[in-house]
Every structure is written in C-alpha cells, then in structure tokens.
Amino acid sequence: MKYQLTQQTAMKNSAFFLLLFFILISTFEADAQIKSVRDTAASKAATATAPRPELAYVEVKWAGSRTVNIVIDGSSYTFNGGQVRLLLLTPGISLKLYVVLSGQKIEAMEFLLIEAGWGNLVVNIKDNTAIFTYRSSADTERIIRQITSNLISIQGGTFIMGCTSMQGGDCNFVEKPVRQVTLNNFYIGKYEVTQLQWRVVMGANPSYFQNCDTCPVENVSWNDIQTFLGKLNALTGKNYRLPTEAEWEYAARGGNRSSGYKYSGSNALGAVAWNADNSRDKTHPVGQKSPNELGLYDMSGNVWEWCQDWYGIYDKRPQNNPIGPTIGVSRVERGGGWSNTARHTRVSYRHGNTPDNRNIMVGFRLAL
C-alpha cells in the first residue's frame, strides 16, 4: 500500500514537472523568436458615450496651455494643455460649444457637425484653439461594411491537427500528439485586420509600422483585441471574436479543400508569405501574396495572429470544436510573421504569449 501511494505521488509530480517544463520552453521560445516591443503610441482617447452605428467619431485637440472644460451638447470634458481626446457625437445636429475656465463661461458658439467627408473644424477661443477633426458616420459605416464583407464562410469538417506528415522534420513537441478534430461551420476573415479598420473602431493606430492603412495592425495585445471586439460588436450588433486555434489551423490548411501544403496555400513559402527572406523587415499590405485553397490571405507570414485559446498541451483524444485549456499563462499565436523563417510559418507551428503582450510582429483576423 505504501509503495502504491509513493508511485501515485511520483506520477503526479512527473505530470507537474512536465507541465512546468512545457511552460518554461514556451516562454524561452517566445523570447527567442519574437522581438517584444511595448506600446509606444499615445494614450487612447476617452469616449464620451457608448458607440452606436449612428455616431460619428470626433477627435478634439485643445492647443491651449491651460486646463479647461469644453462643453459639447451639454456634456463637459476636461482638457489639459495639448491634450487630444476622441469623442463620439451624433452627426447632423447643432453642437453647442463653450469653454469654462475657473468656473467662468468664456464664450458660446454653435456649429454643425458635417455628415459627409473628412476635414477639420478649427475653433478659436480667445488666445487658445480647439481643433475638431471629424469623421462622418458614412465613412465609419463604409469601413465597418468592409470588415463584414471580408468574412469567408468555412464549411466545417474533420481533419488531423498537429504534426502531420506534410510538415516534414520541422515539427517540435508542442505540435504533438496529432489528434482528430471535427469543427462546425464558421466564418473567418479573408484578410488580417488592417490599421485603418482598427483606427475607425478604436480612434487611434498603435502600430509600429505607421502610414499604411492597408497593412495589418500590429503591436496589439490579446487584451487590446477584446476591447476592439467589444466596440466593433456594439457598432454592428454582431458577435465577432478571435478564431479558436483549431479553426485557425483548419482554415490555414485549406479546410475541406486542402491540398496538404506545408504552408498556407503552397509548399513554396515565398508565394504565399511575407517572411524573413522577402519582407525587408516590415509588414506589407494585406492580400498581396497568393491565397490558400479557401481564398484566405497571409495565413502564413506578414504578422502572427492571436487566437482565442489558452496555450497548452494537446489532448490526443478526438475533439469536437475544441476551445483549448480552461486556464493558462499564454494565449495562442499562429502563422509566423515578417521576420520569421520557413520553420515558423508552417500551418501546424504554434506559439504562445501573455495576453498583455504587445509586439510589432503580432496582429489578428476576425472570426464569427
């Protein structure tokens, strides 16, 4: 009996140390393969009201040196010298605007928030200036419609997930054991979410590689994406989310149209992916390389893509719509990025990072 208890304890200890070893190896790999860069962008501007489809985004910059309250439509917003804030205001109505300094109303004016086009409305208030950059609801809705139209319907099916034979000798132990996975139908983004799409929803662009509206947004954490999803779903009434790791791999492999490629859409990496050999150390506009069998672009290369799941050891038993471990330290990233070699852009290669990590190599695509 004593021997049996000792044996059980040893087995539990072995399992614990195996899990600890797995986490340590994953952390080491994260440090070795991805150059972590913390967010250096300016602080996100606050919003005045909950976003609704009929609201317009208005960026307000107070150029004065003094702290003031700017009252817009009866709501008061405190601005420090040089501060920029993003407000959500209803288009097509007269905006009553005045500045309060030390409890005294300085000046009152009325303006019309224009419904179409982009532009600036500059308001001079004595020796200070408030600059309103408006983006109309029509522009916002156009970009939101673009996000929706870029989703591709994926027919569910059964596939073998993990280190299959077409991966050759490049697999590592976290891609094993292979397991049979069955998925229901789902939708996934044709492209990675772009800088323009992120900016329309969030009001700012956190990307390291700036001035490229059609490049994938990067330098966003898993947690940041949850905020983005909340705002996007409020604007659209949909339930957009990140793909599960199983959905991501199934789609990257070509789903039920799969040709068994090593990378997403080809055995020739350069045809489908921006990677260490051809990227010139930067991201590129989405959709420039060849798509895979399902018409999905950049599933290999350009930027890594966050998935919904916690990062953990595979269960070898057959799975139906798996969602990963219930708890964990890191969230899954897939697909490899612009600075990675061929080994790390394979369809079965997996990686993990903490949910608060921001990186110039990591972005995402939507699922529904």
Specify burial of residue 319 (Cβ count, 10 A radius: 0-12, 13-18, 19+).
middle
The pLDDT tens digits of the residues spanning 199-245 come to 888 878 999 999 899 999 999 999 999 999 998 887 788 899 999 99
Buried b (16+ CB within 10 A) or exposed e, 7-18: eeeeeeeeeeee
Q: Are 351 and 333 in contact (CB under 8 A)?
A: yes
Residue 263 to residues 190, 241, 306, 365: CA-CA distances in angstroms? 16, 24, 18, 17
Both tokens of 69, joined, read: 């309250």
Local confidence band at 87 (pLDDT 50, 70, 90 cut-offs): low
Host H or E run for residue 61: strand 56-62
Q: Which pLDDT value is given to residue 154? A: 98
Residue type for position 297: Y
Q: Which of 90, 97, 94, 68 is nearest to 80 (CA)?
A: 68
Q: Which of the four pLDDT bands, split at 50, 70 and 90, describes residue 284?
A: very high
> Of 266 and 59, which is predicted with more confidence?
266
How far are the Cα atoms of 152, 193, 250, 354 from residue 185, in angstroms, in the given order? 11, 21, 11, 29
Rounded mean pLDDT, 302-324: 96
162-190 burial: b if 16+ Cβ within 10 Å, else e: bbbebbeeebeebbeebbebebeebbbbb
Omega of the bond prior to 177 within 30 degrees of 0, cis? yes
Average pLDDT on 153-178 reads 94
DSSP state of 216: B
Strands (E) located in 234-327: 304-310, 319-320
For 99-154, give the DSSP string: EEETTEEEEEEEEE--SSSEEEEEEEETTEEEEEEEE-HHHHHHHHHHHHHTEEEE
> 137-149 and 195-202 helices cross at what angle (nearest 10)?
130
Q: Where are the alpha helices (H) located in the chain, listed in sequence order? A: 2-33, 137-149, 195-202, 222-236, 245-252, 269-272
In this prediction, residue 202 carries a pLDDT of: 86
Residue 350 CA to residue 333 CA, distance in Å, equals 6
Confidence of residue 58 (pLDDT cuts 50, 70, 90): low
pLDDT above 90 for 14:
no
Return the pLDDT at 135. 47
Q: What is the pLDDT of residue 134?
A: 47
